[in-house]
Structure 1
Amino acid sequence: MLGEMKTSRLSPRNYFNLYMMVFDELALLESHFIEEQKKGRRMADLYESVQHAGAVIPRLYLLVTVGAAYVKTKEAAVKLILSDLLDMVKGVQQPTRGLFLRYYLLKMMKDILPDKGNEFEGEGGDVNDSIEFILQNMSEMNRLWVRLQHLSTNKDIEQRQMERNELRVTVGENIIRLSSLEGVTFEIYKQIVLPRILEIVVVCKDTLAQQYLMECIIQAFPDEYHLQTLEQLLDTTSNLNVDVDIKNIFISLMDKLSKFAAQSNQGDESMMSMIGGNLDIFRLFKKYTDKIIEEQGRNIEVSKLLELEVAFMNFCIKTYPSNISYVNQILDSCCQILRSSQITNQDTNSMKLLVKLLTIPLDTLSIRVLKMHHYPTLMDYMKFTNKRTVALRICKAVIKDNKILTSARTVDQ
């Protein structure tokens, strides 16, 4: 079965199915190697002997399998084995075979990488060796993954792109592995891990890879890390391919940070104390969302831009629950979007988003939203049913707040 991994005739999807069968078989073989070591067989001898296997691909899979057993038995320094295996797998440059070989290497080493406080940390290696191993492996895997698209002909390019998308998790696994290392402190993340990953993302010049890897970074690492490296993340979006959906990257980041703010139950004070008050998170998001609207506004559907502003509003309310000025600035941006578009109140999706945008602040600001001069302007874009929905939500907010309306003008508003 291992010999079948040499094939070039299988599609990436079918090759993955073959890989899974081989993976299960090699897990049994690894256990056998460890049993042999307990009987007195030297792992160094096994490691040497498998290198004489005839075919390259089977030889390297066997080498990785023995290498993992070698590390587990602690007969050799982990960093030496990691370095040796990285050098060995460089010989496979065919995209499909190379990608899966490196994926196998990562999977076999995931639980035995030196990390802070684990049994493999020491003279044989530390978390820095693990970080370097994963980053090098990720860089090569991403390059091979990008090259998969060039294997296709014009007739099957769409199918190949779909299959390539299905294999994205093989590359993303590297980021997940990095985020799971206990020894990756914030300083290491900021100084080493994040810059190296972002460099890999930008340099690859591939839309699918850039979109997916940015999403991986956002989902894998702690919210606290994102808060303190926010400008670095947002600035990187300026260097991505023009076809990358930056809006979705922003929405993912805003949604994740807004949930973090809600869980803290302390709003902006909690988040700002974490970064020493040196960074205005709202200002940063406003700067880059305005940039998207300015540079891409004419090429993006109005509903997509409103979707971005809804995410921004949600983030703002959960992070700065009582800041009317920030809410008003977002409403102002929405007014500019609608003024520069040909939108009508028959655009159902946009109207739903507009209703959502106007009702989000009600939970924390209640009737104070009526003091914002952009609020009624946005309502003017709606048809009657949408206006009624917002008006009912305002009434509910007033009742919930036990607010007494003291003037006829307020009631008229």
Structure 2
Amino acid sequence: MLPDGGADDEERWLAEGIAGVQQNAFYMHRAVDSNNLKDALKYSAQMLSELRTSRLSPHKYYDLYMRAFDEMRKLEMFFREETRRGSCSVVDLYELVQHAGNVLPRLYLLCTVGSVYIKSKEAPAKDVLKDLVEMCRGIQHPLRGLFLRSYLSQISRDKLPDIGSEYEGDADSINDAVEFVLQNFIEMNKLWVRMQQQGPVREKEKRGKERNELRDLVGKNLHVLSQIEGVDLDMYKETVLPRILEQIIACPRLSNDVDDYNVTSLVDYLNELNYKVILVPLINPNVDIKTVLSQLMDRLSSYATTSPEVLPEFLQVEAFAKFSKAIGKVIEAQVDMPVVGAVTLYVSLLTFTLRVHPDRLDYVDQVLGACVKKLSGNAKLQDSRATKQIVALLSAPLEKYSDIVTALELSNYPRVMDYLDNSTTKVMALVIIQSIMKNTACISTSDKEEQSSVARLIHMLHNDDHEEMLKILCIVQKHILQGGPKRLPFTVPSLVFSALKLVRRLQGQDGDVIGEEVPATPKKIFQILHQTIEALSCVPSPELALRLYLLCAEDSKAQITAIHLIIGTLQRMNIFGVENRDTLTHKTTGYSAKLLKKPDQCRAVYACSHLFWTDDQDGIMDGERVLLCLKRALRIANAAQQMANVTRGNSGSVALFIEILNKYLYFFEKGIPEITNTVIQDLIELIRAEKQSDNSVADPSTEAFFASTLRKQPAWAAGQALPDCLRACTDAHAPALTCRYILGSQLLRFVDDS
């Protein structure tokens, strides 16, 4: 037991110990330099006496130990040189160090000389090792004893009588090496367990934390054991593993640094012993068998990940069933096991399954189902440790499968989520969202009603089919509107932006006519957005609602402004090559024709005509492409007129045709040969005929605009009569539909000829 003292006291004690080590190490080095063996032993013993302290925690004691350890390596080199020169035989030196006054320094010196003794080969390695491991029993203080035996393990690990080793002896030498490591492991494990039993009950938790800092010291013996080449599978199953299992039974808190032979033997051995390990809790309920199983499965799954090419057949075929059965027996035997313990076991089993059997989704779902069965008695978990483990359980499939649907389609996945409280459900929803974004997954079907948490990731929603995408948005809207005042301000904007993306995709397509046969239209989407944003007004979040309303209203306007800026910029720039400029102008014209409204499309397209005729010295002068842009604008204007006729019952305004006429006149004055007086006159007569139609709208501003335009036309183009077909139509006051047909025919002739 460590004495009471604060952190400052412990730092002071550590500083005093380090000072003592450094001071005696200085005199030891001076004795070594002068080949004074007697003084070297004297000062090294005094230096090692600093390790007799009981004032330090394991962490601080380790710092002091490492200072002394570094000095002992130098002392070992001195001993080796002394015996090589013949100044002192290794046998005499081995006897000499045993006369040190205190037992702890004596044993450290004995281990150091023992390493030199084995290296000299003047005695069999097995005899020296056996003597050392027995002599170290003289230290029964848990902390000091653990570090002494750790020192013994480190200096002897390269001197074990193994196959191919220079210290190999007879056929039994492998057994001697194994026995030495196991004996040291067993004694260290006893000391480690004893740490928990000593001291007052009030400091039990503190001692537990201190013990955890030391468990790696115990486990390193098993690592050394795994490095012995002479230990084959049979020896491991028949000799090594039974000794380890005996320690599991005898010591409830065994360090579980299992070596690689467990990969190919423990599952079979559990079968042979009739699940001896699993039945331990029936004998001693204090045995923490879940930790043994969890760490074993973790080690096996890691082995499966790093060495999949050498996976034994039983690990691929039988291990899941055996571990699943073993966990069931443990949970059944320990009826008082906390929920967190059971879930921890299932987390390890699921991790093992995902690594060893990644394609067996039925195994994954089976583990989740077993967890549901264990949780069935808990309405909502209150243990934060248990909920943390459930989040780990649910996160494992998401990390393994890049396709989020694979995990979400597991039948027991949502059933496990039902046992999470509200705050943990939010955490889990965030994990799902992060997984989707990490794997750039898209939600491509509308059948997602049971996965309401997935709907939060609205920006990842996508489907090339417009109607299906609209269905997705409707379902997301349904879930979003169920949110309370704290959620709506965060979720509604995401839906608005996602819906506007669909609106932009619909632009330039013939889906503008509203009807049941074309449900995915901009108008339909804006109706959904209106309903959604309206919910913000009731929260209330009026400022956010207003901003979103304006965003929807400005969506098309902003694009129009951007298109005209692009056109103007391209017209003034001449730094592009022919090929690059052609690409840019082609894309600009294409985007212009895909704006939301037909009038906007028309104006943007006729503006693009300026990209093909510039007046500067190096400018482009392509009259044919200018004419193509103007003709395309006329077709769009005609389509806008027809739509106005369907929706408003009249032929609408002829302002678009007049605007296009102005462009024709502009380019005629620029001298473009493709723009002839005949072409201009035909367009003027078309506008006049449209104005004289029975269904035309009398608009004073349009009349003024047309009159102003005619005043700018060349004198030779004025006063010409209408074509005979148009005059006959207007004189006879033909029905509007017939007139529209004739006008349309005239327009088609007009835009297709020249």
What TM-score do you get using the length of structure 2 for normalisation? 0.45
Counterpart residue type for residue 106 of structure 2: R
C-alpha contact 1:78 1:125 (8 A) present in aligned 2:
no
The aligned counterpart of 1:271 is 311
The aligned counterpart of 1:314 is 351
C-alpha contact 1:5 1:19 (8 A) present in aligned 2:
no
Counterpart residue type for residue 351 of structure 2: N
Q: 1:142 aligned to 189, 195, 198, which one?
A: 189
Answer yes or no: is 1:342 the counterpart of 2:379. yes
CA distance in 2 between partners of 1:56 and 1:349 (Å): 48
The aligned counterpart of 2:329 is 291
The aligned counterpart of 1:19 is 65
C-alpha contact 1:99 1:145 (8 A) present in aligned 2:
yes
Superposition pairs for residues 13-412 of structure 1, below 5 Å? 13=58, 14-40=60-86, 41-123=88-170, 126-154=173-201, 156-204=203-251, 207=252, 209-210=253-254, 213-214=255-256, 216-217=257-258, 221-222=259-260, 225-230=262-267, 232=269, 235-239=276-280, 242-243=285-286, 245-263=288-306, 271-273=311-313, 275=314, 280-296=318-334, 299-301=337-339, 305-343=342-380, 349=388, 352-353=391-392, 355-356=394-395, 359=398, 370=409, 374=412, 396=441
C-alpha change, 1:26 and 1:287, in structure 2 (3 Å) is same
C-alpha change, 1:340 and 1:108, in structure 2 (3 Å) is same
C-alpha contact 1:231 1:284 (8 A) present in aligned 2:
no
C-alpha contact 1:313 1:357 (8 A) present in aligned 2:
yes
- Please state how far the C-alpha of 1:76 moved relative to its aligned partner: 1.5
- Please state how far the C-alpha of 1:322 moved relative to its aligned partner: 3.4
C-alpha contact 2:278 2:330 (8 A) present in aligned 1:
no
Counterpart residue type for residue 267 of structure 2: L
C-alpha change, 1:375 and 1:159, in structure 2 (3 Å) is closer
The aligned counterpart of 1:404 is none
Deviations 1:42-87 (A, max 9, x none): 2112222223334333332222221111111222211111122233
Q: Aligned residues, how many?
A: 388
C-alpha change, 1:127 and 1:365, in structure 2 (3 Å) is farther
CA distance in 1 between partners of 2:75 and 2:134 (Å): 23
SS of residue paired to 1:174: helix
Q: 1:10 aligned to 37, 55, 62, which one?
A: 55
CA distance in 1 between partners of 2:332 and 2:396 (Å): 20
Counterpart residue type for residue 283 of structure 1: A
- Please state how far the C-alpha of 1:283 moved relative to its aligned partner: 0.9
C-alpha change, 1:265 and 1:180, in structure 2 (3 Å) is closer
- With 146-155 and 30-39 compared, the bigger mean Cα shift is at 146-155
**Residue identity (%):** 36
- Please state how far the C-alpha of 1:136 moved relative to its aligned partner: 1.2
Deviations 1:151-198 (A, max 9, x none): 423454443443333232332221121112222222222111121122
Deviations 1:111-130 (A, max 9, x none): 21111101111259722211
C-alpha contact 1:115 1:130 (8 A) present in aligned 2:
yes
CA distance in 2 between partners of 1:311 and 1:9 (Å): 38
- Please state how far the C-alpha of 1:22 moved relative to its aligned partner: 2.9
SS of residue paired to 1:229: helix
C-alpha change, 1:203 and 1:343, in structure 2 (3 Å) is same
CA distance in 2 between partners of 1:10 and 1:188 (Å): 43
CA distance in 1 between partners of 2:85 and 2:227 (Å): 34
C-alpha change, 1:74 and 1:152, in structure 2 (3 Å) is same
Counterpart residue type for residue 78 of structure 2: H
Deviations 1:337-386 (A, max 9, x none): 3433212799974774564366468559966985x654565576688976
CA distance in 2 between partners of 1:355 and 1:314 (Å): 11
Counterpart residue type for residue 301 of structure 2: S
Higher relative contact order (CA 8 A, sep 6+): 1
- With 241-250 and 142-151 compared, the bigger mean Cα shift is at 241-250
C-alpha contact 1:306 1:353 (8 A) present in aligned 2:
no
SS of residue paired to 1:135: helix
C-alpha change, 1:246 and 1:276, in structure 2 (3 Å) is closer
C-alpha change, 1:327 and 1:364, in structure 2 (3 Å) is farther
C-alpha contact 2:90 2:117 (8 A) present in aligned 1:
yes
- Please state how far the C-alpha of 1:281 moved relative to its aligned partner: 1.0
SS of residue paired to 1:36: helix
C-alpha contact 2:381 2:419 (8 A) present in aligned 1:
yes
CA distance in 2 between partners of 1:345 and 1:361 (Å): 28
C-alpha contact 2:331 2:337 (8 A) present in aligned 1:
no
Identify unmatched segments of 5+ residues in structure 1.
400-407
C-alpha change, 1:122 and 1:357, in structure 2 (3 Å) is closer
C-alpha change, 1:396 and 1:314, in structure 2 (3 Å) is farther
- How big is the alpha-carbon RMSD for the aligned residues of Structure 1 and Structure 2? 4.1
C-alpha contact 2:111 2:152 (8 A) present in aligned 1:
yes
CA distance in 2 between partners of 1:62 and 1:147 (Å): 25
C-alpha change, 1:390 and 1:82, in structure 2 (3 Å) is closer
C-alpha contact 1:77 1:124 (8 A) present in aligned 2:
no
C-alpha contact 1:33 1:66 (8 A) present in aligned 2:
yes
Counterpart residue type for residue 300 of structure 1: P
The aligned counterpart of 2:534 is none
Deviations 1:275-315 (A, max 9, x none): 498x61111111022234434576423x6644543442332
Deviations 1:217-256 (A, max 9, x none): 1xxx12x642432254674254265455544443433333
CA distance in 2 between partners of 1:20 and 1:366 (Å): 53
CA distance in 2 between partners of 1:196 and 1:346 (Å): 37
CA distance in 2 between partners of 1:300 and 1:70 (Å): 53
C-alpha contact 1:345 1:381 (8 A) present in aligned 2:
no
C-alpha change, 1:172 and 1:261, in structure 2 (3 Å) is closer
CA distance in 2 between partners of 1:156 and 1:324 (Å): 47
Counterpart residue type for residue 323 of structure 2: F
C-alpha change, 1:32 and 1:124, in structure 2 (3 Å) is farther
SS of residue paired to 2:138: coil
C-alpha contact 2:45 2:100 (8 A) present in aligned 1:
no
- With 12-21 and 75-84 compared, the bigger mean Cα shift is at 12-21
CA distance in 1 between partners of 2:190 and 2:308 (Å): 42
SS of residue paired to 2:167: coil
Counterpart residue type for residue 253 of structure 1: L
Counterpart residue type for residue 342 of structure 1: A
Counterpart residue type for residue 373 of structure 2: Q
CA distance in 2 between partners of 1:357 and 1:102 (Å): 39
CA distance in 1 between partners of 2:55 and 2:176 (Å): 35
C-alpha change, 1:250 and 1:183, in structure 2 (3 Å) is same
